[in-house]
Every structure is written in structure tokens, then in C-alpha cells.
Chains A and B, each alone.
Chain A
């Protein structure tokens, strides 16, 4: 039985994963950026979310974790991560987004009992632009968590292919 199956069997099914994904992201923003990632009261518009960071999961849990936001938000996240002014952020913005996604994915899998040992992370990939489609082998629809960073939307998703 895989760790994913064990997690499901122990009642920690995928229905419980959304709060864990949310918590994993909030901890990363709190500890590494010194910023709160909040839950928006109203649905956030998705236009202009043209930075997507992706980290693959392989092993007992296979899939991909993505973090999407606007370029302005990505620059602000990089600035907070590096402790510099937003106008000083250059090409390291993509590296910063990849690291944020990597930490969210790692923190998430470490929160699922038995998953930390049997699941490896890929190096991050960052896509610029919003005009793309992802054709994944995921079992079902992605788990999506919409949050707000400084009032702007950040969408964190997990697609699982078990």
C-alpha cells in the first residue's frame, strides 16, 4: 500500500489536503518572507496571473504543485524573500518563485504522514505568460487553494497522479 493510500485509509484523504496545502504555503510566506498569506473574502480575478512556478512530485505521491501570481506579486515576493526593495529585483525573481514553490511543495508533503520519506521533489520550473494549457495525467481535477498576498491573488494547486 502506498503512502498516499495509507493517508487515504487513515482518514487523511485528499479532502483534508486543501487545508494542509494552505497551511504549508502560509508557513513559507510567514517564515521566509515575513508576510501573511490570507484567505480572500471574495473570489479573486485570475487575469494577469502570468507567472507560474512548478515543482514535480515523484514516488509514492506523483503529481505537480504550482504557484501562480502576477509579475508584480512575484517581484514583491522576491523582494521580501531577499530583503531588498521591489525595484531592485531583477532576474532572481524567477529563481525566488521556484524556491517558494519548492518550499511549499516540500512543506506540504512533510505534513502528510508517511509521505516525506517516499516522495521526491523535482527542481522547480518557472513559466512566464498565461496563455498556455497543461495536459496532465492527474487522476481528477486539481486541488486549488486561492489566497491573497498583499491583496493580490496567489493560486496554489496540486495535481495528483497516483
Chain B
């Protein structure tokens, strides 16, 4: 039981250092890197750290931490585009090896939106709706699972890194929808079925926070997902914008022409 709440903090510190090394290496290689991306990465790490270090005395506080660790943090980390940074920072040969590794079947399976949605949504149901909760509530392994599953889902749905054989937007939106529904249904379920050892009033407040807080995080995810469809160039790291690409290839749908003018 007496596990330290900050047991996975060293991993976060390591992630901060590795990213910084990548930034320096990319700069040495003469490759630029948008500061907004770096800001996202460090904000994500800060959110995850806050979740680990924050109060965990009540179910409400626990749920606040869960939202930061499992949804807000992962989304920010993914927007930090660590894969693209690695490709820019590594020497060509190693960068090629990395892309080949990312295109292997096991990796593709792991970052498939359906896998990610099942790991994330299913994991939450197992954690909160079974007696497991009382046993492992503060376990570092569970915290790590929540963080990693959140990252996988955000990466699968809106990851800006180049991805081999990325599933179509339809597959991604269906998986995302399934996860959103599973999250919302779990929140309502917990309202009436508090996890073992949680007082009713605390569980009700925690469940409402999970529901509405989850909605805010999900909304961000959905907006970014749709925005990527609308304007892909904006989300490509350092991508050049072709002038109005949606007008290319269909001249007849060009600019609006007023009649009889």
C-alpha cells in the first residue's frame, strides 16, 4: 500500500530531459522547432506532475487528478509532436531506423485508435467499476497505465507526428466516439455505484466532475480532430501552406461569382 505517489515522477523528469536534448540536437543540426510545440510538451508534463503531487484525500480530488493525468496531460504531450522532434534531432541513419520501427506491426497495433480506445476506456471501467479500485487506487502502475493509455488515444486520434498507414478519419472518429461514450457512461454509473470505500456524497461530486470535466477535455480533442480535417497544413510541424489547397483540383468550385454584376 505505502507506495509513494510520486513514484513515476522520475519518468516525467526523464521525458523533460529527453525532449530538451532533442531540442538542442535539432538546433545543432540547423533544424528549427516551433516553440508552441515545446510549450505543449512541457505543459503536458506539468499537468501530469500536478496530478501526481496534488491532493488525493477525497474522490473528487482523485478525479481531478485523473482528468489531468489521463486526458489533459496526454493531449498536450501528443501536441508536443515528440516523434517529429526525434526525427529532426537524430542523425539520418537512426531517424530512418526510428521510422521503420514506428511502421512495424506491433507499434501500429498499439497506436491503432481501436486498441487505444479499448485500453483507455476498458481500463477505466475495470479500475473504477470493480473492487480493484480499493486495492490499487494509488498504485504507480495504474497511474502509468492511465497516462500511457491517454497518450495512445490522443496520439491515435490527433497525433501530429507522421504515421504509417494511419486509419481513416471515420475509423478514428468511431473509436473516439466509443471512448467518449464509455467515459460519460462510467461517470454516471459511478454516481450511483460508488467505488469501494468512497462515501456517497464524495462519489456523486467526483462522478459529476468526471462527467463535465471529461466533456471539456473531450471537446478539445474533438475540436482539434475536426480542425485537422479542415486545415491539415496548420497541424503539420513546420509544414508549408499551399495557397488555399481546397480550391486546387476543382476549378469549377472556385471563388464565388456574383450574378448579373
Q: Do A and B assemble together?
A: no
- Spell out B's residues near A (CB within 8 Å): none
- Spell out A's residues near B (CB within 8 Å): none
